[in-house]
Structure 1
Amino acid sequence: MASVPTAKDDKEKKNEELATAILKDKVKPNRLIVDQSDKDDNSIIALSQAKMDELALFRGDTVVLKGKKRKETVAIVLADDNCSNDKIRMNRVVRHNLRVRLGDVVSVTAAPNIGYGKRVHVLPIDDTVEGLTGNLFEVFLKPYFVEAYRPLHKGDIFTVQAAMRTVEFKVVETDPSPSCIVAPDTVIHYEGEAIKREEEEENMNDVGYDDIGGVSLDLSIILLIDLEDDTIDAEVLNSLAVSMENFRFAMGKSSPSALRETVVETPNITWDDIGGLHNVKRELQELVQYPVEHPEKYLKFGMQPSRGVLFYGPPGCGKTLLAKAIAHECQANFISIKGPELLTMWFGESEANVRDVFDKARAAAPCVLFFDELDSIAKARGGTAGDAGGAADRVINQILTEMDGMNSKKNVFIIGATNRPDIIDSAILRPGRLDQLIYIPLPDEASRLQIFKANLRKTPVAKDVDMTFLSKSTVGFSGADLTEICQRACKLAIRESIE
């Protein structure tokens, strides 16, 4: 027997339909999931034919794409039979301009009003044109734009491959702005200084929803709300709160105010930047890296890792580079102090400077504390002529006190460098302080060859350059001398290419 619907049932059904209608209204057909494109073209995105019909788009139409952080770009739409109805296919360059990844959601809108451009201004990114000479327009830009009718959007990055190189360009300005189509009669300006990579990365770091930690569930609701709506549910706003995750994020981005007065850097020097010195590199790895990467081995053998090392040898042989490289390999901070920087004419100030340096090293742990020209502040006590107030002796005593206060749990490794190990106070070299001495010699022939290769590894070198001959002809040269030779040769090449 069939039941007869009552007035109550009709009311509940009507309410259910209203709720469903509200939900359906939020699911817009032009919001699609990002997928990888089969065609590596910076100007093309692909949709299924059914989706193009639904959005009233035709093959070759220009569309506006909206991604994260209110980023927009323009592209030409094509049909792809292998594309799902809820997907949009685009290459890496388009995803970069929209600040999205595979699986993110973007919106697609027809843009019939984008016309041909009168002029556009594009500039290369500096690190993609290093060592590149010649006419960028003829080699890269002209073949890229000729008869292609590519749409451009102000602020976009696009890549061009030619002459076995990939060069990145940024769209600085378009007329009309902010988008236009580059036609055969569009004037392409490319004059100006190349854009620094750091400036472009700063633009990429604009704050958006992705930069807020700890409220991902609430943000997922906000992201579904149409920005064109005037109102947002009060319950959503009331549910937002500062969480512990927010504080962890803030602590990771902030540094103690004490560190802001000292240059604390994370070096980008790698072992590849240092030619030769293979035995020295091995010793440093055993002294510094092994305790960090394999602490269980030291516990097994009941051994305390070394807390410091002294580099000595002729000037210009790479002592500072080695210290920076080992800090980079251990992913540690790096503080470099020149010995004379600690000395002042005021009574007690020099010792206070020493305490401050060690305090900042402990605050920046894990940290490599590098004392350059150690002989200027650590001469044998009692042997400094004219030191009536005993300032030099007090500085040494303070350094010894701070070194004894360091242990393996502080995660601070001390490296000293000197050309005169014979005049350094012997107390600094006893076990538990700078107990490991490593001699940094002048490079031999094989090391000189490695230094030449390390210095020129990012430089285009002509085939007639015989590095083996150069390494044989530079007996007695230090690493700094060889670096100067490479720099002078590069400067001459730059001068010849300009003139």
Structure 2
Amino acid sequence: MRKSLGKRDKLSEVQLRVEDAKQRDIGRGIARIDQRTMEKLGISAGDVIEIIGKRSTSAIAWPAFNEDQNRDIIRIDGFTRKNAGVTINEYVMVRPTKVKEALNITLAPVDMRLTVDEDFTNFVKNRLMERTLVEGDTTLITMLSHAIPFLVTGTRPHGIVKVTAETKLTILNETAPETRGLSRVTYEDVGGLRMVIQRVREIVELPLRHPELFQRLGIEPPKGILFYGPPGCGKTLLARAIANEAEVNFFAINGPEVIGKFYGDSEARLREIFQQAQLNAPSIIFIDHFDAIAVPRRISDTDLMENRIVAQLLALMDGLKSRGNVIVIAATDRIDLIDPAFKRPGRFDEIIEIRFPEKEERYEILKIHTRTMPLAENVNLNELAEMTNSFTGADLMALCKKAAMKSLRRLPKECLIEERIPLHILEKINVTMEDFLDALKELKLGDKN
């Protein structure tokens, strides 16, 4: 039997590699670490730890899964990674910490405006009770099927604090200026594409983080990735998650919106976006509905505008400096409508198909879209995954939203005429399997019509 580490053998901190959280742990503020690491640090499950990357944050230590034992990793969700200033496969220092009781905490909503009253403040406070926070953290509050992110703009005292019954909580109405336009999409929000994510991360993150490797090898890093597949399968969501997790600037282009009325407008728009991306590198340029501006060139007076746009886009991609600090990601539902010149190496080096999700992938997507929902005990996501063959990720999201809306039918009618529904009523609402089945019938009927 292995001997436990004695007091003299305990370490003040350890270095662990970051991996993504499982769906069940997202938004819980926990960090899964293995038993051997806990023994080294002299901590137990439930203790608070400090996680230090580019910045410092906190989490509650929780036992690792069996398959993660002795791997020297820490599983944390996208919010905790953001709070620590790290992404997957980077390293953090982890150490035990002391937590102070918070006297005052100020929160600001992320990228939205709220109407705040005493009931809402008390509701948020109850959700935060015993949770640990650090100034600058983003924390998630679940309310019915909606998760509201807040930025911790101030704490007293400073450092790692926990919310208690005595804590005075202030919630600002206005968005914190530094969070406006902030993308909240993480890899955990993209379901059913684990293998694609792994492949794309290798293509995108390595040259963005370590361009010197490519200089040493004497090769050019990839300039572009082209996603193709049915609409609603997660191409756009994946691109946003990549940019957010890699902590780079994100420039989005909607193909049809680029096309201007006047001569040269479209080319000027494209030049401006590429110029801004290079000035603000590292960055990702994402072109949605790529087939709208990358059609095969033809010899015809009526196709002159399309030919000019394609020629300009090819020139811009060829003109990107080969340092891997600007990457173009494009998405299309119709790869057959793309000019073949874009598919040659040096432009879109990687062409990746994103297919309809299989049953296990549909189950994972359903878990993502229901993780903030108050589900009744009779909800069986495995059964729903079986019943939704040929559904895309967008279809499954619509199913979950429609089921949630159906649960509102059980609200007392008198509540609907009140200015604000009491929180104790909202807390009693849950989404049942019957809601999902009714929603599924409607969606399938809509397809037939």
Task: Name the TM tier (shorter chain).
Answer: 0.5 to 0.7
* Map of 1:131 onto structure 2: 143
Deviation at 1:341, TM superposition (A): 1.2
Rounded to whole Å, the distance in 2 between the matches of 1:132 and 1:352 is: 45
* Map of 1:281 onto structure 2: 197
Rounded to whole Å, the distance in 1 between the matches of 2:328 and 2:380 is: 40
State the structure with more CA Rg. Answer: 1
User: What are the residue-to-residue correspondences of 1:149-168 with 2, within 5 Å?
Assistant: none
Match of 2:331 among 412, 417, 420: 417
Q: Secondary structure at the match of 1:371?
A: strand
Rounded to whole Å, the distance in 1 between the matches of 2:280 and 2:211 is: 21
Q: Decide whether the 8 Å contact of 1:265 with 1:334 is kept in 2.
A: no
Rounded to whole Å, the distance in 2 between the matches of 1:309 and 1:198 is: 40
Rounded to whole Å, the distance in 1 between the matches of 2:167 and 2:238 is: 33
Q: Decide whether the 8 Å contact of 1:334 with 1:368 is kept in 2.
A: yes
Deviation at 1:322, TM superposition (A): 0.5
Q: Decide whether the 8 Å contact of 1:377 with 1:396 is kept in 2.
A: yes
Shifted more, 372-381 versus 345-354: the winner is 345-354
In structure 1, the gaps of 5 or more residues are 1-89, 98-120, 134-157, 171-194, 206-252, 254-263
* Map of 2:283 onto structure 1: 367
Q: Secondary structure at the match of 1:380?
A: coil
Deviation at 1:410, TM superposition (A): 6.7
* Map of 1:456 onto structure 2: 370
Q: Decide whether the 8 Å contact of 1:266 with 1:334 is kept in 2.
A: no
Q: Decide whether the 8 Å contact of 2:105 with 2:168 is kept in 1.
A: no
* Map of 2:320 onto structure 1: 406
Match of 1:345 among 250, 258, 261: 261
Percent of paired sites with the same residue: 37
Deviation at 1:450, TM superposition (A): 0.4
Rounded to whole Å, the distance in 1 between the matches of 2:368 and 2:378 is: 18
Rounded to whole Å, the distance in 2 between the matches of 1:319 and 1:168 is: 43
Rounded to whole Å, the distance in 2 between the matches of 1:491 and 1:337 is: 32
* Map of 1:492 onto structure 2: 406
Shifted more, 311-320 versus 275-284: the winner is 275-284
Match of 1:320 among 236, 245, 266: 236
Q: Secondary structure at the match of 1:309?
A: strand
Rounded to whole Å, the distance in 1 between the matches of 2:367 and 2:167 is: 25
TM-score by length of 1: 0.50
Q: Deviations over 1:89-120 (max 9, x none)?
A: x95431537xxxxxxxxxxxxxxxxxxxxxxx
Q: Deviations over 1:324-370 (max 9, x none)?
A: 01101110111111111111121122211111121122223221111
Q: Secondary structure at the match of 1:393?
A: helix
Deviation at 1:431, TM superposition (A): 1.1
Rounded to whole Å, the distance in 1 between the matches of 2:164 and 2:104 is: 16
Ranked by relative contact order (alpha carbons within 8 Å, sequence separation 6 or more), the top structure is 2
Q: Deviations over 1:437-486 (max 9, x none)?
A: 00000000110000011111122222211110000110000000000001
* Map of 2:272 onto structure 1: 356
Deviation at 1:426, TM superposition (A): 0.8
Q: Decide whether the 8 Å contact of 1:266 with 1:333 is kept in 2.
A: no
Amino acid at match of 2:339: D
* Map of 2:105 onto structure 1: 96
User: What are the residue-to-residue correspondences of 1:12-31 with 2, within 5 Å?
Assistant: none
* Map of 1:122 onto structure 2: 118
Q: Decide whether the 8 Å contact of 1:267 with 1:333 is kept in 2.
A: no
Q: Decide whether the 8 Å contact of 2:343 with 2:349 is kept in 1.
A: yes
Q: Decide whether the 8 Å contact of 1:123 with 1:169 is kept in 2.
A: no
Name the CA shift for 1:353/1:295 in 2 (closer, same or farther; >3 Å): closer
Name the CA shift for 1:167/1:474 in 2 (closer, same or farther; >3 Å): farther
User: What are the residue-to-residue correspondences of 1:188-227 with 2, within 5 Å?
Assistant: 199=174, 202=176
Rounded to whole Å, the distance in 1 between the matches of 2:182 and 2:320 is: 21
Amino acid at match of 2:317: M
Q: CA RMSD in A?
A: 3.2
Q: Decide whether the 8 Å contact of 1:339 with 1:374 is kept in 2.
A: yes
Name the CA shift for 1:437/1:497 in 2 (closer, same or farther; >3 Å): same
In structure 2, the gaps of 5 or more residues are 1-98, 107-116, 128-140, 146-161, 414-449
Answering whether residue 292 of structure 2 is matched by residue 376 of structure 1, we say: yes
User: What are the residue-to-residue correspondences of 1:14-53 with 2, within 5 Å?
Assistant: none
Q: Decide whether the 8 Å contact of 2:144 with 2:372 is kept in 1.
A: no
Q: Secondary structure at the match of 2:407?
A: helix
Match of 2:394 among 471, 474, 480: 480
Amino acid at match of 2:314: L
Amino acid at match of 1:480: A
Amino acid at match of 2:335: P
Rounded to whole Å, the distance in 1 between the matches of 2:173 and 2:282 is: 26
Amino acid at match of 1:124: F
Q: Decide whether the 8 Å contact of 1:273 with 1:454 is kept in 2.
A: yes
Rounded to whole Å, the distance in 1 between the matches of 2:385 and 2:167 is: 34
Name the CA shift for 1:461/1:437 in 2 (closer, same or farther; >3 Å): same
Name the CA shift for 1:484/1:456 in 2 (closer, same or farther; >3 Å): same
Q: Secondary structure at the match of 1:392?
A: helix
Rounded to whole Å, the distance in 1 between the matches of 2:326 and 2:276 is: 10
* Map of 1:336 onto structure 2: 252
In the alignment of these two chains, the number of paired residues is 274
